[in-house]
Amino acid sequence: KSSVPKDVNAYSISKSVDDLEAVIKKLGLRRFHIYGQSFGGILAFEYLKRVAERNDPKPEGEEGCLSLILSSTPTSVKIVEA
């Protein structure tokens, strides 16, 4: 049986997207593809939404996510967070 986290907020979608951004930065990825399976698809979508909302346009083809594949991803974050 898995242990119960002391702070359940440590597992929020926002914090998970923060983690994804940190991994991308740490690995020095400038151009990449994302495949999101199930909950990973939610994180991938939320990550790309966050990037788009920054309004920090990059020249086409210079850097960032080149493609996104969502597989068995829930259609609503509210369903997952419930």
The pTM score is 0.78
pLDDT for 3-60, tens place per residue?
777 887 778 899 999 999 999 999 999 999 999 999 999 999 999 999 999 887 666 6
Between 63 and 42, name the one with better pLDDT. Answer: 42
Q: Taking 80 as the threshold, does the pLDDT of residue 62 lie above it?
A: no
What's the confidence (pLDDT) of residue 46? 93
Between 61 and 46, name the one with better pLDDT. Answer: 46
Provide DSSP, 46-77: HHHHHHHHTT----TTTSEEEEEEEES--S-H
Q: At 66, give phi and psi (nearest 5°).
A: -90, -30
